[in-house]
Copies of this chain bind each other. A is one copy, B any other.
Amino acid sequence: MAGIKDVAKLAGVGVGTVSRMINESGYVSIDTRAKIESAMKELNYTPNELARNLYYKKSGIIAVLVPNVLNPFFAQFIDCVEGELRRAGFKIMLCSTMKDVKSEAEYLDLLNRHIVDGVIAGMSSLDESEYSRIQKPVVALDRYLGEHIPVVTVDHKEGGRLAAEVLLANGCRKILHFRSTAEKKSLYHDRHTEFQKIMDERGVETYCYNLDWRRLDIEYYHQVVEEIFEKGIEFDGVFGVDRLAIECMNGLIRQHKNIPQDVKIVSYDGTYITEIVEPKISTIVQPIDKMAEASVQCMCELISGAKIKNRQIILKPTFRKGGTTV
């Protein structure tokens, strides 16, 4: 296999020049670059990237942790993040943390072992203290993990308010509210507090169903909705995440209820599945593309050595009307 010396010889330049170009460690003129590139091509030379990474302690890989790839929110997030990272010159390593409780810690460890240059924590169930020990690039979604870890989040309080206002304007008087709980405090849950507060203030009756935060699977959602119907709970409005809102609508359709005449539905997240059902779900949309963009931007800043302290990027949710409200 051809080495750097062969490339230098064929290009008629010094080894140091080739090295400067490969490692982007100094000026190389356009003409010289062209000569080196054509020599590399002719010799089928590929620089040993692992050796380069070892030297620079850079791998060009960012780990993205999500609870579950199948969840449409995280699928959309990964899709956007992958594109953004690619544009920034990074590759993505993917980890679903829900299948293996140890995996979150394991991926953080990859940072220390120089296998990844940074971690975007799409969901976190570790203690803040586990993160505070890490002095490497970490960006968090929806959760505060320490002053040196930037947080990308959405104004979920505003999201809760928007949902409440739509259901109130639709004249709902008894609302089924699917509340997610979580072991760790996530900013994502602010929507519930705000939604409930407004309903209480306006004297609107709510039935709160407390969900198990560890379950995101369709079987669980199906089971929850069955339970609601079996208990014979009456409601004229629904607020919950996309999948639950859809399960609920399907249950109502099977009971020959008319949507939106009999029951109004507003979902949270606004992922693509709200648009593949009939009628489409009215929803509070999280700006997933902007969240991905902001996460990658923070990551690039951290990697380039910027010191970021107490940064919180708060994006705005929006309401998208479907056919489940009037």
Chain A residues engaging chain B, CB cutoff 8 angstroms: 46-51, 53-54, 57, 59, 61, 68-70, 75-76, 78-79, 82-83, 86, 91-96, 99-100, 103, 109-110, 112-115, 218, 243, 246-247, 249-250, 253-254, 272-273, 275-278
Contacts and interface: CB of A to CB of B under 8 A. Distances in A.
Contacts of A100: 86
A272 B114 contact: no
Nearest to A249: B278
Identical chains bound together, number:
2
A113 B79 contact: no
B70 A272 contact: yes
Contacts of A50: 50, 53-54, 57, 59, 113-115
A292 to B, nearest CB: 12
Contacts of A246: 276
Contacts of A218: 272, 275-276
| Main SS class of interface, A | helix
Given A46-B109, A50-B115, A83-B99, 7 more contacts: A50-B59, A51-B54, A61-B61, A79-B96, A82-B96, A86-B100, A247-B276
A92 B94 contact: yes
